[in-house]
Amino acid sequence: MPEVKYEMNKDGDFLVDYEEKVFEDVKAKEGEKALVTFHTVAFEGSIGFVNMLQATRLQRKGYETSILLYGPGVTLGVQRGFPTLGDEAFPGHMNFNNQLKKFMAEGGKVYACRFALQALYGHGERSLIEGIIPINPLDVLDIKLLHTRDNAVIVDTWTM
């Protein structure tokens, strides 16, 4: 049997060259916009949280950035907590809420579809995290069309 002769990895080791950047660090030009849409269920994988981080990064690069929560995506924007709203039941439990709050505090806009909120998930507008703007279901398409017309960066978040 072959013998493996090398030191085990340990805390503080580097496994990859994380400092090398291949592409230029793009910044938004004056007036450029971005829209990140979410049609994914909270806690059903990492894509919802990862693209919230991408939305925050787009905003910090200077894009006028909006988030659209529609369909199951509205579950990302409802207040949560246990045993009371706002309490973190376990580490990471409030990731979505905290990231959306940070995004809005930095000037981002978050919109949530009223139809999905009530008809699909049984929530009302008062269930939303403070600052999220409820919209008519007909606005879901229009916000995408407006951003397309403005040549915005659009990132769609879907899970099946």
What are the extents of the domains in the chain? 33-158
Encode 63-94: b = buried (16+ Cβ within 10 Å), e = exposed: bbbbbbbbbbbbbbbbebeeeeeeeeeeeeeb
pLDDT at 45: 81
User: Rounded to an integer, what distance in angstroms lies between the CA atom of residue 89 and that of residue 33?
Assistant: 36
Which residues, in sequence order, are bridge partners of residue 37? 68, 156
- Cα 72 from Cα 42, distance rounded (Å): 8
Tell me the β-bridge partners of 1.
Answer: none
pLDDT digits (tens, 9 = 90+) for 113-142: 999 999 999 999 999 999 999 999 999 999
Q: Where are the beta strands (DSSP E) in 23-70?
A: 33-39, 64-69
Which tens digit of pLDDT belongs to each residue from 44-54? 888 899 999 99
pLDDT at 44: 84
Residue 5 has a pLDDT of: 86
Q: What is the mean pLDDT of the chain?
A: 94
Into which CATH architecture does domain 33-158 fall?
A: 3-Layer(aba) Sandwich (3.40)
Q: What is the pTM of this model?
A: 0.90
**Cβ 47 vs Cβ 156: under 8 Å:** no
Assess whether pLDDT exceeds 70 at residue 159: no
Which residues neighbour 83 within 8 Å (Cβ) at sequence distance 6 or greater?
89
Q: DSSP state, 15?
A: S
- Tell me the CA distances in angstroms from 86 to 67, 78, 79, 124, one per residue in order: 21, 11, 7, 18
pLDDT score for 160: 58
| Per-residue pLDDT reduced to its tens digit, 81-101 | 999 999 999 999 999 999 999
